[in-house]
Amino acid sequence: MINCNCEFVVDDVNSTNWEAHYNTCNVILTQREKNGEFPNGRPRSADGTLLCINKNLNKISGDYLYHLDLGVSTHDLRALFGDVKFVCMGGTAKRVLDCAKFIGKEIGCHLPVGTDLIDITASSLRYSMYKIGPVLTVNHGIGISTMSVVLQEVIKLLRYSGSKDPIVFRIGTSGGIGIEPGSVVVSEKGFNGLQKNTYDLDILGKTVSMPAILDKRLAQELASLSTDDDDFKTLIGNTMCANDFYNGQGRTDGPFCEYTEEDKFEFLKKLQSHGIKNIEMEVTCFSALTYKAGIKAADVCVTLLDRLKGDQVTMPKNLKHSLEIRPIIIVTRYIQKYLKKHGKLPFGKC
């Protein structure tokens, strides 16, 4: 009999509909193995560390993560990142810096006097990365093309560092569909522009479809952390990923538009019928790659507008910033509960 190795952060005592396991549980991994999902072997070991399923990497003496400017031969990755438990990814450098500062304050992680957070990957001139205790925050730009690059290098970084059972959150903004602006959506599934639950990538002249699966139990736990005192709603729902901000999301305010307002609303209503509550530009790739790597992951986004009522984001920047903190609040509560459960709260000196 295979033993469940889930260490739930939030108990399901008030619900009978919660998933019985995380995606990374030995029970689930064994099922996936029987289904033939791991032709190159399981993506993680029994202790939660990530395994190398690309045997080509074994031929490289000192793998260099070019877009992070970090390397196996040039940096002691285990010493630098071995204690990382959580990774928070977001679109902008400012957002992930704000995220690191907010989480650090909430978990009681104090930097030495006279020091400040350092952008670990500043020399790369591409992405920004900050570390505060067991939390790594990384910006990924906008869209799949920029996000996939840094996500894949972060996955390799977590493997080389020996991080155990890491959890990766994508914290972002989105357009809502029929829900109040400012609501936080925790994604259950990611869908592409054709309403397929896959991430499709052209590889060597062929289109490869990967299942875009997020950890449902993790999503349920995150959504349960909303409180009556919050001035916003936190919902679980499906999310559409677009490859474009304008036509790809059915907007009519771009430089080109060959469809009508009626066409747009018909499309948005169709998305609603699939349980899709918001639209962003990363979730299918994010969910597919983390699932393939054997990593628990969640996509948590605030909505900046209701697309059934308009296309443009016109709110003042200070209001937008106040909304962007909402997904960070929910994720931070999860991190706090985990650290408290393991006797590491307050975290102390970083």
Q: What is the pLDDT of residues 299-329, one digit of tens each?
A: 999 999 999 999 999 989 899 999 999 999 9
> How far apart (Å, rounded) are the C-alpha atoms in residues 324 and 184?
10
At 15 the pLDDT is: 67
At 56 the pLDDT is: 95
Interacting residues of 236 by C-beta distance below 8 A, sequence separation 6+: 185, 186, 187, 188, 219, 220, 223
At 347 the pLDDT is: 83
At 112 the pLDDT is: 77
Q: Is-contact 185 276, C-beta < 8 A?
A: no
CATH superfamily of the 26-349 domain = Nucleoside phosphorylase domain (3.40.50.1580)
The ranges of the chain with pLDDT < 50 are none
> How far apart (Å, rounded) are the C-alpha atoms in residues 199 and 227?
33
The per-residue b/e assignment along 132-149, b for 16 or more CB within 10 angstroms, e otherwise, is bbbbbbbbbbbbbebbbb
At 92 the pLDDT is: 94
pTM listed for this prediction:
0.96
